[in-house]
Amino acid sequence: MSLTCRSVGGARRAPGPRGSVTVDVMRIHVVDHPLVAHKLTTLRDKRTDSPTFRRLADELVTLLAYEATRDVRTEQVDIETPVTATTGVRLSHPRPMVVPILRAGLGMLDGMVRLLPTAEVGFMGMVRNEETYEAHTYATRMPDDLSGRQVYVVDPMLATGGTLVAAIRELIKRGADDVTAICLLAAPEGVEVMERELAGTPVTVVTAAVDEHLNADRYIVPGLGDAGDRMYGTAG
Ligand code: URA
């Protein structure tokens, strides 16, 4: 399977790996594939009910995760096939960590661990203040020491960027040296905030689309609405 990506971002561009471009340090991959576009369109449709939304989000994450894990660290391993001895690869230690941002990130967890079944899972509970739009952390469950870890943080919507910036700062503070954010959708405003606030940190964003803009309520336009509500109903 091969997924093509296009890159978006700010002014300073230089060739990066895999046909991407490097924008400062942060890399952005927009996964450009008809199946991704098809699933995303159904997610956007307001007539899509919660069970269908959850199933499609799960399938979409697996496609995004395939691209996001292209640089997952591996080590060489000697094995014997029924025919002969050979060498292959396995995921290196320390194992990668997947961190869903609660609540909506939970709907992306299964799709991630399907591709990375040996990954460890940490949790961050974050909520944005609907008046100031600032991110507030209400729960954290992950190792204090993430030294040498590749971390995949999953949050469906990169809107203002506040939540992801706060989450990624925390991961880097704990020693993570390679962080990939996987989002179903991104807004250009949020991408800019991440580029600015996380300049100089080893961060990659993988997403299915960068939409037009944020509206006055900081929802992504055209977007898909409130991802948590669409997944789990309207309970706050
Ligand atoms: N969070 C959402 O769930 N949707 C948006 O459009 C923006 C933030």
Give distance in angstroms: CA of 219 to centre of ligand 1: 5
Helical (H) or strand (E) element with 21: strand 21-23
Query: Which position among 44, 54, 95, 128 bears the catalytic label?
Result: 128
Ligand 1 pocket check for 226: Cβ under 6 Å: yes
60 Cβ contact partners less than 8 Å away, ≥ 6 residues apart: 36, 39, 40, 43, 111, 184, 208
Ligand 1 pocket check for 220: Cβ under 6 Å: yes
Ligand 1 atom 3, closest CA: 226
| 39 within 8 A of 59, measured Cβ to Cβ | yes
Domains belonging to the chain, first-starting first, are 4-73+91-232 (3.40.50.2020)
Ligand 1 pocket check for 43: Cβ under 6 Å: no
Query: Which position among 81, 84, 87, 132 bears the catalytic label?
Result: 132
Show pLDDT as tens, one digit a residue, over the chain (236 residues): 444 445 544 333 333 444 344 445 689 999 999 999 999 999 999 999 999 999 999 999 999 999 999 999 999 999 999 999 999 999 999 999 999 999 899 999 999 999 999 999 999 998 877 777 778 889 999 999 999 999 999 999 999 999 999 999 999 999 999 999 999 999 999 999 999 999 989 899 999 999 999 999 999 999 999 999 999 887 44
